[in-house]
Amino acid sequence: MTTVVIAAVAAGPTAVAASTHAPGTATPVAAGVLSDPTPEEQEHLREVAGSIWTPELAAGWNMNSDVADVLSTATGEILKCSEAFALVPRPPGFLPGIGYLLSYWKNLRDYFLVVRDNRTYRACVVTAANNYRTQIEIASMGI
């Protein structure tokens, strides 16, 4: 299962969509959303955030659109870092916005949980968690 998740994320959004939807269909990825996420979307974002930081930290955050923006940036940094380690051959050629996070939240969560526990790739997740912790806390407070 780990290999499938890593391979799907490594291949990009189309492969991730194909791995979670009917063959030959892809879920459109929105570039951005102006309104705050719905409660269900907030839970998906919380799962991704919990896989980067901890579920306990993410549980206390207000998953608003500003938090989603910071989470998108952190996600992009982790994917770029992983590429440098040759785990992910091609990260998305764009900043993974809220649409990407919401479409692929489960795959991203599973991927981050895998690399977080891998001694080599853990540096990618830990570095992003460290670099974006203050920003996500501030965004959660609506500042």
Residue with tokens 């992910």: 88
Amino acid at 127: T
Instruction: Give the pLDDT band of residue 5 (cuts 50, 70, 90).
Output: very low
pLDDT over threshold 80, residue 62:
yes
- Please state whether the predicted TM-score (pTM) of the whole model is above 0.85: no
Model pLDDT, residue 80: 86
Q: What are phi and psi of 137, to 5 degrees?
A: -65, -45
Model pLDDT, residue 95: 67
Model pLDDT, residue 86: 59
Rounded Cα distance, 91 and 110, in Å = 16
Nearest to 49 by CA among 19, 70, 30, 80: 70
Query: What mean pLDDT value characterizes the chain?
Result: 74
Rounded Cα distance, 1 and 140, in Å = 33
